[in-house]
């Protein structure tokens, strides 16, 4: 009997909370939204939403947030593994950031000067496909580029090519270990806990798991990339702009 009463009370308070939520949504506040955006989103999406490690949001339609409800949900849940969720924000704060993101839709998008068709030829000629998969073509251990244009802005793409070590994806850490028998292995860290270390082997792309007690040396190659840099001697400014225009247009689903 008591538990039935408690159940009824819970159901009642839930419906009150839901009614309260929609009341809050109605008062989404752009100024609050902008403040939250600048402190929590701009680190990846740029001040004013012009992009960076994350995509630019100055677009009238957002592929992953077709309507406002989807946008609020995306902000709350994040897009794992690259974008963290914002569980700490209240319903009203989420609605406010959402409103601010929508307001960016009328900002003029970034202009690209390169020729994407020429960029595709540069991509082939420079052997990028030896390390990257794009739309099912290519091999290697570099990140997949099929949807790279939906993830990064042009400035970030330029930096990734000219100076890869300065624009490493967040979770990218190159590690070199020496196993007990003296074998030296380099890989990208996939997982680590106090007792074990899992690496993605750069040569074969396989995952290798080590017990830390079996390793005689572990070196974290912070700020190093296994992607060669392409300075202007290796890639002219025109080639770079064409390549960036090509990559910016790659917006397919990655999996």
Instruction: Please identify, using beta-carbon distances, which residue of 8 and 63 lies nearer to ligand HEC.
Output: 63
Shortest Cβ 101–ligand HEC spacing (Å):
5
Nearest distance, CB of residue 208 and ligand HEC, angstroms:
17
Match 């073509």 to its residue by tokens: 137
- Which of residues 9 and 78 has its CB atom nearest to ligand HEC in the complex? 78
Query: Do the Cβ atoms of 52 and 166 come closer than 8 Å?
Result: no
Distance in Å, CB of 33 to ligand HEC, minimum: 9
* Closer to ligand HEC by Cβ: residue 9 or 66: 66
**Angstrom distance (rounded) from CA 11 to CA 243:** 57
Give the three-class secondary structure for 104.
helix
Q: How far is the CB of 4 from ligand HEC (least distance, A)?
A: 41
Minimal distance, residue 193 CB to ligand HEC, in Å = 23
Between 131 and 179, name the residue whose CB sits nearer to ligand HEC: 131
DSSP letter assigned to residue 163: -
In the chain, which ranges are E strands?
A: 174-179, 184-192, 196-201, 207-211, 215-221
- Which stretches of the chain bind ligand HEC, using CB under 6 A? 40-41, 43-45, 53-55, 57, 62-65, 71, 74-75, 79, 82-84, 86, 97, 101, 123, 126-128, 130-132, 140-143, 148, 150-152, 157, 160-161, 164, 168-169, 172, 225-228, 230, 243, 247
CA distance 215 to 184: 10
**Alpha carbons 12 and 100: distance in angstroms, whole number:** 33
Residue with smaller CB distance to ligand HEC, 48 or 140? 140
Compare residues 245 and 247 and give the one whose CB is closer to ligand HEC.
247
H or E element: which one contains 3? helix 2-25
CB 3 within 8 A of CB 9: no
Give me the least distance between CB of 211 and ligand HEC, in Å please.
Answer: 26
Specify the residue for token string 């396989």. Answer: 206
């Amino acid at each position: 009997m008591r538990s039935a009463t408690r159940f009824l009370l819970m159901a009642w308070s839930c419906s009150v909370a839901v009614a309260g939520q929609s009341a809050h949504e109605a008062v989404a506040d752009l100024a609050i939204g902008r403040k939250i955006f600048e402190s929590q989103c701009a680190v990846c999406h740029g001040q004013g939403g012009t992009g960076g490690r994350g995509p630019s949001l100055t677009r009238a339609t957002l592929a992953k947030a077709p309507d406002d409800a989807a946008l609020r949900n995306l902000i709350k849940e994040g897009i794992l593994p690259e974008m963290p969720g914002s569980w700490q924000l209240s319903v009203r704060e989420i609605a406010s950031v959402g409103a601010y993101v929508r307001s960016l839709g009328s900002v003029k998008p970034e202009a690209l000067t390169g020729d994407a068709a020429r960029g595709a030829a540069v991509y082939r000629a420079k052997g990028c496909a030896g390390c990257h998969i794009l739309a099912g073509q290519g091999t290697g251990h570099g990140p997949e580029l099929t949807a790279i244009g939906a993830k990064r802005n042009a400035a970030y793409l330029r930096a990734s090519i000219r100076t890869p070590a300065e624009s490493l994806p967040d979770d990218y850490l190159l590690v070199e270990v020496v196993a007990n028998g003296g074998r030296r292995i380099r890989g990208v860290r996939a997982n680590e806990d106090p007792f074990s270390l899992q690496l993605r082997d750069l040569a074969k792309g396989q995952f290798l798991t080590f017990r830390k007690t079996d390793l005689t040396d572990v070196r974290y190659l912070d700020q190093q990339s296994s992607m060669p840099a392409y300075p202007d001697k290796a890639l002219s400014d025109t080639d770079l702009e064409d390549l960036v225009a090509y990559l910016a247009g790659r917006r397919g689903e990655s999996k």
